[in-house]
Structure 1
Amino acid sequence: MSDRQYWESLLEPGILAVVGAGGKTTVVSKLGAVATSLKRPVVVTTTTKMGSEQVAPWNPYYGDDLALGEAYIVEQVKRGQMGSWFQAIAGHKVVGLEPELLDTLHDHHPDWSIVVEADGAKTKWLKAPKPHEPVIPANTVTTIAVVNMQVLGKPLTEDYVHRIEEVQAITGIALGDRITPEGVARLLEHENGIFQYARGKRIVFCTGCDAVHPSVVDTLLQALQSLPLHKVVLANGYRENCCIQKVLTWQ
């Protein structure tokens, strides 16, 4: 399969929530762009925050009025564009929409793909969520957890990890020790880990696979074997250059 076909295989009608760290915005952007190129109706948004400069090219609607926002998005979709909607701009960030609003939007347009960045990571490569994170709408059909492979082998420090004490407690890795594939697998498996509050099918999306030795990728895949996953995605590159190399079906 080609890179585009791999991205297409991840698209489906309904809400797709993207969580984790080290490439969430890349995944959201690419899914939106691929859906648009395929002439499929798609909306990109967040339930947390995103960079205002990152979303500006999407010509988003700002506001929390359902009728006005929905009308704006409908026109974007009719023109074959990617719909984009946020509540407001706050400095260098945009504030996301309430999950209930996205559930309603899905109810009104069940054939649309609504791709939601549902987590924040302070630009780090690994994280454990706060008690109220991720913010995942009730109608979510698939939760995609992003794992940046470049964090493997790095020391467990705040240079790479957000909410480091929580990550340490879940993974069992001592502060300053190397982050292992087995530790990341524990973070994906734990009820308070990356997939906390996940709904629907679970997909692990591994970014930065080209930045590590193939044996590291193989070790992580082995560590994930017992997890109840739908798919595991292996991707190289970053942002617009992110390219999927392989999609592995788990269950």
Structure 2
Amino acid sequence: MKYRKFILHDLSFFKHESILKKMSISRTMALRKALNLPETPVLAIVGSGGKTSLLFRLAKEYTPRVIVSNTAHLGVNQAENADKVVQLREPQDIPRILDETFDGILLITGLPDERGRYRGLEHTAISLLIDVCKQKRIPLLIEADGCRGKPLKAPGPWEPPIPQKIEQVIVCAGASGFGKPLNEEWVYRSADYSQLANVSLGDLLSSETIAKVISHPLGGLKNIPENSKRYFLINQADSVEQQEFGGNVAIRILSKFDRGVVASLHGTEYTKPVEIHRVYVPVAGVVLAAGESRRFGSPKVLIEIEGEPLVRRIAKIALESYLQPVLVVTGAYPEISSSLSNLDVNIIENPSWKLGQSSSVKVAISALPEHVQAVIFLLGDQPFITSSLLKSLLHAFAISQAPIIAPRVNGQRANPILFSRETFHDLMNMTGDAGGRQIFEKFPLQFIPWEDKKLLLDIDTLDDLANLMKLIDHSSP
């Protein structure tokens, strides 16, 4: 099989099973590991498309004992997934209940209502339950929303009932609703959903629309306590198309979350394991623009391409590709900073730029926030970087979690290159002007095939610039 036949920017080559197997993370990875949850979470699950499945699937992974509860209604039949059910009558009974020895999943819930559903615990009871679980270091998982079994939803005025003491929140959405019409068949409270997304009822649910609602402060982020960790789960991604769609939603919302997963939970049919298709983590973008441009004779990153400086063009593409944060490393020419005005980028000055590209890499790594799990390094003189390519690197990393991922054009490695956090220590020990390739022997490279040969072009001399301008003029309408 020749990889060059497949184009990653539309992700169509993932449909080839052999390539998917080579790239994919462990499909049976535990949910707890995929989400990187702590040993004793105090966690709420909200949204739609598999909350109860997630509640009990996660509970199964916490041993020897775990408490599950609810602040929204829970079906009596759903409670059958617990090993023991306690209907709480008085909040003061909670310490005594938790003092009793038990193993497995203990559901502490309210009394049943006239419709055969367990009521959610009220504020006093759930607050005390959280306190006692934290004191005894017992994992606590709470379903804190309702959706009438629909894959997508907009919260009502009183929803979701997330306790303020919650430390982690998982926002769920069901991929079975992706691409479907915006109506009550697929979306609970579809009229409210249309207002949040600013689209019309009946419109097809695009990745942009769904991402807008999930990341909206009155949508998926509603009522999440300020200091809580935020996660998302895109469930029901049973086909490659749904996984691709879910990935396009994921990269749009990732800046609002700490981590996210595209998966197939398969309900609570425990004979069928959970499948983890993709794990999305924060990825930063770093534009390297500190060099002297000695052969060119002036700062080449300030060359204007189609009316804007090259470095600004590249920084904008990084932002459009949902890289967060975006850092621009300057050095020999401090005036580069002025070309980046009004862009949401962090400008990092490298006082040691004369020591070569490795010094800029170190400055950038040192400036990255702790939550960033990977970085894409972009060269400031590479005019044909596209948002499509950067997104493809993000998706490839979500699928494989490979330590280093690079595009390959006609068998030749190209830039930009993604480095995961596991490579950061080695990047910090580099010297000279060779850049990240100094560590390629230690870490296996994963390549994504790319067809655009222009990606191999950069600007080192005036002749390079002249050839570049001819290409741009030739491709202009």
Normalising by structure 1, report the TM-score.
0.89
1:59-98 matched pairs, under 5 angstroms: 59-75=84-100, 78-90=101-113, 91-98=115-122
Instruction: Give 5+ residue unaligned stretches, structure 2.
Output: 1-25, 283-370, 372-477
Q: 1:207 corresponds to which letter in structure 2?
A: N
1:108-147 matched pairs, under 5 angstroms: 108-110=132-134, 111-147=137-173
Whether 2:257 is the aligned partner of 1:234: answer no
Runs of 4+ in 1 over 3 A off after TM superposition: 1-6
Return the offset for 1:112.
1.8
* Aligned residue number for residue 243 of structure 1: 275
Q: 1:208 corresponds to which letter in structure 2?
A: Q
Asked if the contact 1:146–1:206 (Cα under 8 Å) also holds between the matched residues in 2, the reply is yes
Q: 1:66 corresponds to which letter in structure 2?
A: P
* Aligned residue number for residue 421 of structure 2: none
Report the aligned-residue RMSD: 1.9
1:159-238 matched pairs, under 5 angstroms: 159-199=185-225, 200-211=228-239, 213=241, 214-225=243-254, 227-238=255-266
More deviation, 209-218/55-64? 209-218
Asked if the contact 1:150–1:212 (Cα under 8 Å) also holds between the matched residues in 2, the reply is no
Report the Cα distance in structure 1 between the residues aligned to 2:194 and 2:150, rounded to whole angstroms. 15
* CA shift digits 1:114-167 (9 cap, x unpaired): 111100111111111112110011110111000111111000011011111110
Closer, same or farther: CA 12–64 of 1 in aligned 2, 3 Å: farther
The partner residue of 1:15 within 25, 42, 61 is 42
Report the Cα distance in structure 2 between the residues aligned to 1:99 and 1:211, rounded to whole angstroms. 40
1:143-158 matched pairs, under 5 angstroms: 143-158=169-184
Closer, same or farther: CA 11–60 of 1 in aligned 2, 3 Å: farther
Asked if the contact 1:4–1:34 (Cα under 8 Å) also holds between the matched residues in 2, the reply is no
* CA shift digits 1:26-67 (9 cap, x unpaired): 11011111113xx2x421111010110110342211123123
The partner residue of 1:26 within 53, 59, 64 is 53
Q: Secondary structure at the match of 2:141?
A: strand
Asked if the contact 2:250–2:280 (Cα under 8 Å) also holds between the matched residues in 1, the reply is no
Closer, same or farther: CA 230–122 of 1 in aligned 2, 3 Å: same
Asked if the contact 1:88–1:94 (Cα under 8 Å) also holds between the matched residues in 2, the reply is yes
Which structure has more relative contact order (CA 8 Å, sep 6+)? It is: 1
Report the Cα distance in structure 2 between the residues aligned to 1:66 and 1:189, rounded to whole angstroms. 34
Instruction: Give 5+ residue unaligned stretches, structure 1.
Output: none
Which is greater in Rg?
2
Return the offset for 1:11.
4.5
Return the offset for 1:25.
0.2
Q: Secondary structure at the match of 1:22?
A: coil
Report the Cα distance in structure 1 between the residues aligned to 2:218 and 2:39, rounded to whole angstroms. 27
Normalising by structure 2, report the TM-score.
0.49
Asked if the contact 1:99–1:138 (Cα under 8 Å) also holds between the matched residues in 2, the reply is no
Closer, same or farther: CA 206–45 of 1 in aligned 2, 3 Å: same
How many residue pairs get matched?
Answer: 245
Q: Secondary structure at the match of 1:169?
A: helix
Return the offset for 1:6.
3.6
Return the offset for 1:15.
1.9
Identity of aligned residues (%): 24
1:46-61 matched pairs, under 5 angstroms: 46-58=70-82, 59-61=84-86
Asked if the contact 1:142–1:201 (Cα under 8 Å) also holds between the matched residues in 2, the reply is yes
Report the Cα distance in structure 2 between the residues aligned to 1:52 and 1:196, rounded to whole angstroms. 27
Q: 2:42 corresponds to which letter in structure 1?
A: I
Q: Secondary structure at the match of 2:42?
A: strand
Report the Cα distance in structure 1 between the residues aligned to 2:37 and 2:277, rounded to whole angstroms. 13
Return the offset for 1:2.
6.5
Report the Cα distance in structure 1 between the residues aligned to 2:132 and 2:88, rounded to whole angstroms. 18
